[in-house]
Structure 1
Amino acid sequence: MAAILLAFTEVQGAQGVSELSRRLALPKSAVHRTLDALTSTGLVAQDPATGKYLLGPRALELGMTGFGAPDLRTLAEPVMRELMERTHETVTLSYRVQDERVYVSQVESKQPVRMTVTVGQRFPLYAGASGRAILAAMSAEDLERYLSSVELLPLTRATVYDRDQLLGVLEEVRQGGFAVSFGERDPWAAATAAAVTAGGRPIGAISVCGPLARFQGAVVSLCSEAVRDAARRISDLLSGGGTVPDPRRDAKPAAAPAPR
């Protein structure tokens, strides 16, 4: 069981039963049974669209607890629910893990057509509102290290992946206090996000996201102002909640019962 959990920390993205079986030299039946058990505890989650598996919210919670951090999801949940009621769109919470971010929670919109995310899924920081909000809140040294070590590749036709253009967008994010994204990670989706900080560094981001067609004009202005206020509230809660993990450390989110 521990070997399967640790396998998720070694490869980016979701993994299937066959892939894990080959990598770990284990029978498919054994891998499948173990994944079923891990899914029932929340340590592993299954992507309903692909049938593949990835680290679940309980694994991320263990990782944060292992660092001596408060449970970010617990602190943020009331604020996220208020934000959803204010904007009527899905609200997500991302946690920074090294040079990526991971969805750790969401409060879904009540609208018939809405955006949902897969908790536990990782994404690069340069693409999309949540990641860029985190990048914009980094120190100049951390940002330069990030840009020097990560290959910027387009995820959609709208992705900002030119270094100079990205730096210009990040400056706009700093000035406004929020980031926006229109079809940069998913062609049909849009979002606005703001960084959640603790100890002067970004540890994650909160976002409001929904269908691209609905994110225009006054809606973007409302959601951007609301998400900026929500991020500030969560950051204030964290400042009184004890120590937080340093995302710059080499450690990955814990995937073993005893340690993003």
Structure 2
Amino acid sequence: MSRNQSSIQKTINILKQLARAPYEMTALELSNELSINRSTVHRILNTLKDEMLVLQNPVNKKYTLGPMAYHIGIAYINNQTNSEQIKYILNEVAKETKQSVGYAMLIDGKIMNIYEIENYQPIKIGYRPGSFYPIHCGAYGKCITAFIEPKEKLKKIVYSSELYKKTPNTITDPEELLKEYEKIRKNGYAISNEESLLGAIGIGAPVRNSSGKVIGSVAAASIKSALTNSDFEFIKQKVIEAAQKISKFIP
């Protein structure tokens, strides 16, 4: 039984590793990264290939997640409460603003991208559904984390998290980040000004359940140089309105 459990855990670790950037690895790279015997990695990958959970590039021999992994993931997304209403609201905001618009949720203490619409921009920012976001930069991460309660729990999370620097604008000082969260709670929205990606600006608004607890965020991301002040204010208004509309569908 312990051997089976060990094999299952190794399989899970391989799938989780392929779900992270750069999203493709050779068997040797997986073996080295995960400290799993290479022959075991090959055996697991062959089984996953048979089930279409992974695919292998015939040219560079690297493995990626396969269509069945997508099928499982999309089943989870479609099982979310009122998913069609949420997608409809997001698509309307994207059409009106012509920006990248998405929805992220707090799931088991992690901030996960659930939906992303990038149909209306010539330049794709490239956020991926299923990606996890840090708590200290980006509209999703800051907007959701700012509303974690009680505040003692929030402070503990901030001081125990790795606040790494993604751009010169990324907040890495815990006290400064706590002040940023306070500002977000007061304003009712979060702004990410080139904190995750140089040249990009984002705005996020909280989504609440019927008890008033923040469980997610609607956010829009834009190319900063392409926006006027009035453009940004219009996008902000639409994002906040969308978050309020989605909140009405959350039990």
TM over 0.5: yes
Q: CA deviation at 1:217?
A: 1.2
Q: TM-score, normalised by structure 1?
A: 0.73
* Residue identity in the other structure for 1:95: M
Match of 1:223 in 2: 235
Match of 1:209 in 2: 221
SS at match of 1:94: strand
Distance 1:57 1:97 in 2: 20
Equivalenced residue count is: 226
Distance 1:181 1:56 in 2: 29
Unaligned runs of 5+ in 2: 1-6, 56-61
8 Å contact kept, 1:60–1:120:
no
1:8-42 residue CA offsets vs partner (Å, 9 max, x unmatched): 458993453434345343344852672681269xx
8 Å contact kept, 1:126–1:161:
yes
- Over the aligned positions, Cα root-mean-square deviation in angstroms equals 3.3
Distance 2:237 2:71 in 1: 28
Distance 1:21 1:174 in 2: 44
8 Å contact kept, 2:148–2:154:
yes
Q: Is 2:105 the partner of 1:95? A: yes
Amino-acid identity (%): 20
> Who wins on radius of gyration, i.e. which is larger?
2
* Residue identity in the other structure for 2:172: Y
Q: TM-score, normalised by structure 2?
A: 0.75
1:227-248 residue CA offsets vs partner (Å, 9 max, x unmatched): 1111111111013xxxxxxxxx
Name the structure where helix makes up a greater proportion of residues: 2
Distance 2:185 2:17 in 1: 33
Q: CA deviation at 1:224?
A: 1.2
| Higher RCO by CA contacts (8 Å cutoff, separation 6 or greater) | 1
Q: Is 2:238 the partner of 1:237? A: no
Q: How does 1:1-260 map to 2 (within 5 A)?
A: 3-5=10-12, 7-8=14-15, 13-14=20-21, 16-18=25-27, 19-22=29-32, 23=34, 24-25=36-37, 26-28=40-42, 31=45, 34=48, 37-38=52-53, 53=65, 56=70, 58-59=72-73, 61-62=75-76, 70-71=80-81, 73-139=83-149, 140-198=151-209, 199-239=211-251
* Residue identity in the other structure for 2:119: S
